[in-house]
């Protein structure tokens, strides 16, 4: 975890794709105001991550209430977060693909 003079707190996350086994290093934001986990669509495109269509498309809003876009697909990743002692937290998560930029 790295603190800074900004209101966000970043954590380093190791992730693995379930289909190809590709290892990724992600930057996660804690308490960023999102109501769910998500992954940026540009990151998904740059890394050629496999997406899965959602069962039901839904709208996503920005913090100010304006419409950001639609969640149409998601990525499944196995993530590992390590604490300062090296203890690991591991889970498989679905990450909706959204515009975080």
The 10 Å Cβ neighbour count of residue 95 is 22
Alpha helix segments (H runs only) across 1-101:
41-46
Whole-number Å distance between alpha carbons of 78 and 49: 13
CATH topology for 9-98? Cathepsin D, subunit A; domain 1 (2.40.70)
Instruction: Compute the mean pLDDT over every residue in the chain, rounded to the nearest whole number.
Output: 84
Full-prediction pTM beyond 0.75? yes
| Confidence band, pLDDT 50/70/90 cuts, at residue 31 | low
Whole-number Å distance between alpha carbons of 75 and 22: 13
Tell me: the pLDDT tens digits for 52-84? Answer: 999 999 998 877 888 989 999 999 999 888 877
pLDDT at residue 2 in the model: 44
Over residues 26-33, the mean pLDDT reads: 65
Place of tokens 């498309």: 57
């Amino acid at each position: 975890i790295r603190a800074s003079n900004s209101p966000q707190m970043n954590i380093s996350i190791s992730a693995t794709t379930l289909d190809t086994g590709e290892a990724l290093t992600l930057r996660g934001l804690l308490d960023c105001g999102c109501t769910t986990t998500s992954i940026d669509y540009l990151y998904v495109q740059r890394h050629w991550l496999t997406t899965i269509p959602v069962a039901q498309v839904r709208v996503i809003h920005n913090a100010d209430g304006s419409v950001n876009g639609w969640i149409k697909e998601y990525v499944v990743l196995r993530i590992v977060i390590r604490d300062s002692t090296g203890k690991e937290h591991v889970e498989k998560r679905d990450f909706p693909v959204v515009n975080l930029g």
